[in-house]
Amino acid sequence: MVVYVSDRVRRAGEEQAARALRLALHHRAVVGALLATWPADPSRRTRAEWTTLREVLPAGTSAAEIRNRTRQIRDFARAHDGCLPAGLCELEEPPAVAAVVLLAAMDRQQTSLERVGDAGARLRVKLPLCAAPASRRDWAWHVIDLRLPVTVEADAALHSPTLRPTRTGRIAVDLPHSRPVATGEATGHTVAVGFDWGVNTLLTGTVGRLTGGGATARVLTDGRPLIYDATAISAKLHRLRTHREHLAAKRDHYRALTTGLGTAHRARDELLDRTASLEREHARVCARIRHLNDALAWSAARWAVDQAAALGASVIYLEDLATLETRGRRRGNARLSGQIRGTLAEAIRHLAAKRGLTVAAVPARGTSALCPRCLATLGHHPAPDRLGERGWKWAHCTGCDLSLDRDHAAARRIVSRGLLAQTHTLTQRATGTRTIHTTVDGPVTVARRPKKTTRRMRHAHRAQTLPVQPAGPKTTPAKARPTPTRRPKTTRRTPEVRTVPATTPTGAVKRPAGHDTQTPTPFPGQAPGHGAPAPRRPEQPLPGSGRRLSHETCRQRTRAAERTGFHHTHATEVHPLTPRFGPHRDGTRPRRARKA
């Protein structure tokens, strides 16, 4: 059977094969380096073993790739009675080639792309009319009109896309686009924002300002924490991952049962149908997890970049992901392995480049161990509002009596390391990623921001600037009556939840205002807060009044409403603040901001 293809199509196939071979060559080099320096205990390498491994590894190998390949080799050795594989070909199967068409490897005689307006593009590509084209007549031009998303700017340059078929039988177009942006400077920064990674509190940051120079350089901060709390979404992701593991366990169990049965067994078809149903449900849950992870990563990245731009910072410092290796119990490792830190870091770099900001990574080791004020050893214990629970959320220094959130203290040290060691910033040629490998620690001083001028401050300033009046009798007439005493009118704060218990609806009606359920009759087995009304409990009113609920009851209802599974994030609002706080190099304080 003869199939006719042009040289341009052949070049596209060769480019795809070359990409697969280059990736396989990199994997073979990594596996060969690990096998050549295989330690006695691969889970805990010594400093000398790490140094030897880094010398033979290819440039740009991440810690995640080293960890994954080490686990793969260790599992192979356990399955083969301690024998190590000879190389990559024995360790894993041949790589699978994706069914894609790389239009970037073709010229204008095979494909062309032009922009139509601000929200559209037109792709012309020569494709075969049948599965086995025999001559040129079986090839024809196809015109594909593309609708660009809102994220593609009007001045963005479009590049040759990649065509790939989807599971539904449609053709997806992966259209890359680029936009020229100015490259941020690696050094010369005076105002920066540093962010610390967390599990539930995804990002915790603070702003820092570099004053002085040389040996007298120090970092100031305004003491205001920047928090992006994604506890509710983390809980949702944890439930989805648990459901995914449960579906995978059932699917594997049905597969094992099907393998043990013969082809003529009457229960084989039923087990195959159940396996296929579980496979579809497993794929749906995986897609939902990926979508939620991407949405959370880009949301947090936009918030971080907006905070840096509003605070007048020119650089964002993050913890180096290559130095974050979790140790200890599996639960902590499993929670950290499901984090979206890599996607979030790339999203921050992408959005920061559009704003003209620089993003650099600093060493993460020891950021939570020392005090940011005096560099003494910190003690960790539960938060002050949760002393009865186990945890290490709060940090306390016995040397300078510093007491604050552990992630906030780590963020102060991150911004201090970045500003003090910015002259040691390294830039990778291939990716443009900036990293600081040298650790320079210094104390961080808290300086208050200048307040806005009030009426009292303006009157005091006016009294200082006006000339002094000579002492003597008053020339202005006195008041006919004394000024009446004005009592301040105070209003009681409106509670966040209802102050009167809501009545249980008897029919299909809308619920009144407040945190209450809408379903009138619960189903058997439902938990309170998920469409089922909570059981009635005796509520203690405030002493001397029976019209309002107690504060503890209001807190319980608010916490119950927050546990209903809604995808909410609690983040610090973005306020445009001037970076002028603390003393300047000339020793003068900044001017007070005038009232707007």
Give the position of tokens 């989807």.
Answer: 166
The pLDDT value recorded for residue 43 is: 83
| Side-chain half-sphere exposure of 506, counting CA atoms within 13 A | 0
pTM beyond cutoff 0.75? no
Contact 362, 414 (CB under 8 A): yes
The pLDDT value recorded for residue 522 is: 41
Q: Which of 98-107, 252-261, 285-294, 573-582 has the highest mean pLDDT?
A: 285-294
Dist CA 39 CA 53 (whole Å): 10
Task: Give 546-555 pLDDT, tens digit per residue.
Answer: 444 555 555 5
Q: 3-class DSSP state for residue 278?
A: helix
Dist CA 183 CA 360 (whole Å): 13
Q: Which of 276-285, 432-441, 482-491 has the lowest mean pLDDT?
A: 482-491
Residue that wins the pLDDT comparison between 565 and 22 = 22
Q: DSSP assignment, residue 203?
A: E
- pLDDT bracket for residue 474 (50, 70, 90): low
Dist CA 466 CA 329 (whole Å): 70
Here the tokens at position 137 are 């007549």
The CA–CA distances, whole Å, from 589 to 35, 223, 419 equal 60, 17, 21
Residue that wins the pLDDT comparison between 579 and 509 = 579
- pLDDT bracket for residue 6 (50, 70, 90): confident
* Averaged confidence pLDDT in the chain: 80
Mean pLDDT, residues 454-467 taken together: 79
Contact 208, 412 (CB under 8 A): yes
- pLDDT bracket for residue 85 (50, 70, 90): very high
**Chain centroid, CA 461 distance in Å:** 47
Torsion sign over Cα 232, 238, 244, 249:
negative
Dist CA 103 CA 172 (whole Å): 13
Residue that wins the pLDDT comparison between 48 and 479 = 48
Instruction: Please list the residues that pair with 106 across neighbouring strands.
Output: none
- pLDDT bracket for residue 201 (50, 70, 90): confident
The pLDDT value recorded for residue 121 is: 92
The pLDDT value recorded for residue 428 is: 86
Question: Does the structure show a pLDDT above 70 at 54?
Answer: yes
Give the position of tokens 């205990």.
Answer: 41
User: Letter for the amino acid at 66?
Assistant: I
Question: Does the structure show a pLDDT above 60 at 564?
Answer: no
Dist CA 546 CA 548 (whole Å): 6
Residue that wins the pLDDT comparison between 546 and 482 = 482
Mean pLDDT, residues 234-239 taken together: 88
Question: Does the structure show a pLDDT above 90 at 150?
Answer: no
Residue that wins the pLDDT comparison between 572 and 523 = 572
Question: Does the structure show a pLDDT above 60 at 327?
Answer: no
Q: Which of 36-45, 55-64, 396-405, 478-487 has the lowest mean pLDDT?
A: 478-487
The pLDDT value recorded for residue 561 is: 45
The pLDDT value recorded for residue 525 is: 40
Task: Give 373-423 pLDDT, tens digit per residue.
Answer: 999 999 888 888 777 777 778 899 988 888 889 999 999 999 999 999 999
Contact 301, 348 (CB under 8 A): yes
Question: Does the structure show a pLDDT above 80 at 18?
Answer: yes
Instruction: Please list the residues that pair with 165 across neighbouring strands.
Output: 171
Mean pLDDT, residues 287-307 taken together: 93
% of the chain residues with pLDDT over 70? 78
The pLDDT value recorded for residue 410 is: 93
Contact 225, 204 (CB under 8 A): yes
- pLDDT bracket for residue 158 (50, 70, 90): very high
Sequence-ordered strand ranges (E) for 443-561: 444-446
Question: Does the structure show a pLDDT above 60 at 339?
Answer: yes
Burial class (CB in 10 A: 0-12, 13-18, 19+), 425: buried
